[in-house]
Amino acid sequence: MKLIPFMRQIPLNYWLYSLFLPFLFIACSDDPSSLGSDLLNQDNIIVSKLDSFTDTLSQKFEPHQAKLSLGSSDILLVGKDANVESQILLAFYVPVASKYLSDLDSGLSILSANISLTRNYYYGDTLQPFNVGIHQVTSNWNSLFTSDSISQLTYDQTSAVQSSNIEGNLYSFSISPNLAMEWFNAAKDTSLGKNFGVLIKPFGVTRFTGFTASTALNSEVPSIQIIVKKATAFESYQDTLVYNGSVDVHIIQGTFPEASAKTMTIQNGTGVQGKLLFDLSKLPEDAVVNTANLILSIDTLNMKVGSSYLDGMLAYQIADSVTDSTSAQFVISLPRSGNTYSGDVARIINNALLTRNNYGMLITSTYQIKGIENFALFNSNAVNNELKPRLIITYSQKKK
Would you list the DSSP string of 69-95? --TT-SEEEEEE-SSEEEEEEEEE---
- Alpha-carbon 138 to chain mean position: 28
376: Cβ–Cβ under 8 A, 6 or more apart, which residues? Answer: 259, 263, 264, 265, 266, 298, 299, 300, 301, 302, 303, 304
Q: How confident is the model at residue 163 (pLDDT cuts 50, 70, 90)?
A: very high
Burial profile 110-135: b = 16 or more Cβ within 10 angstroms, e = fewer: bebbbbbbbbbbbbeeeeeebebbbb
Q: With the C-alpha atoms ordered 251, 255, 260, 265, is the resulting torsion angle positive or negative?
A: positive
Q: Which of 25-39, 40-54, 151-165, 305-319 has the lowest mean pLDDT?
A: 25-39
- Say yes or no to pLDDT of 86 above 80: yes
Can you give the pLDDT at residue 136? Answer: 97
In whole angstroms, give the CA distance from residue 115 to residue 121: 18
Q: How confident is the model at residue 240 (pLDDT cuts 50, 70, 90)?
A: very high
Predicted confidence (pLDDT) per residue in 169-181, tens digit: 999 999 999 999 9
In whole angstroms, give the CA distance from residue 220 to residue 212: 6
- Say yes or no to pLDDT of 307 above 70: yes
- Say yes or no to pLDDT of 216 above 60: yes
Instruction: Give the CA distances from residue 352 to residues 111, 279, 308, in Å, rounded to whole numbers and listed in that order.
Output: 65, 12, 35
Among the listed residues 219, 236, 212, the one whose alpha carbon sits nearest the alpha carbon of residue 122: 212
DSSP reduced 3-state for 292: strand
The arithmetic mean of pLDDT across residues 24-44, rounded, is 46
Decide: residue 156, CB within 10 A, 0-12 exposed, 13-18 middle, 19+ buried: middle
Can you give the pLDDT at residue 48? Answer: 92
- Say yes or no to pLDDT of 4 above 70: no
User: What predicted TM-score, i.e. pTM, was given to this entire model?
Assistant: 0.83
- Say yes or no to pLDDT of 6 above 60: no
Residue 262, sorted as left (phi over 0), alpha (psi -120 to 50) or beta, turns out to be alpha
Better pLDDT: 122 or 328: 122
Among the listed residues 2, 68, 54, 63, the one whose alpha carbon sits nearest the alpha carbon of residue 363: 63
Better pLDDT: 315 or 126: 315
Q: How confident is the model at residue 321 (pLDDT cuts 50, 70, 90)?
A: confident
Mean pLDDT for all residues in the chain: 87
- Residue 132 pairs in a beta bridge with 202
